[in-house]
Amino acid sequence: MDIITILRQDYAKFPIDQSYQIYAEDVYFQDPLTRFRGLDRYQQTIEFIQKWFKNPHLELHAIDRVDREISTRWSLSWNTPLPWYPRIEITGRTELLLNELDLIISHIDYWDRSPLDVLKQHFRR
């Protein structure tokens, strides 16, 4: 199965049963809140989302590959486990870089909202 097909499947079932074998052991991850290196840490991040975010939904809008670069556009939403369970929404894009074995060596997320705007969604009416 090619990596685009695997990514489409992972987006559809996120954060459940992700395909970690498509990532290099020293994968670099970055989003507006954090950055780190390593597959173990990446798995821990996904497990955190699975455990603490309620009703997560990741919708893939576009996915394109040019040589060793894959770009995606997506929307992510979830309910935060606060007493009023606010629904949080983020749209953005991801840039993935692949090595010669088609393993992901870099995963960088860009949000269309600032982290402060995401935080503010927790307190809107």
Domains of the chain: 3-15+23-123 (3.10.450.50)
Q: How far is CA 68 from CA 22, 50, 97, in A?
A: 13, 29, 6
| pLDDT, tens digit, 9 for 90 and up, residues 70-122 | 999 999 999 999 889 999 999 999 999 999 999 999 999 999 999 999 989 99
Q: How far is CA 54 from CA 15, 75, 95, 117, in A?
A: 11, 16, 26, 20
Strand order in the sheet with 69-79: 35-37, 23-30, 104-111, 87-98, 69-79, 54-66
pTM value is 0.92
3-state SS assignment for residue 33: coil
Nearest to 43, CA basis, from 15, 80, 1: 15
Q: What is the mean pLDDT of residues 27-43?
A: 97
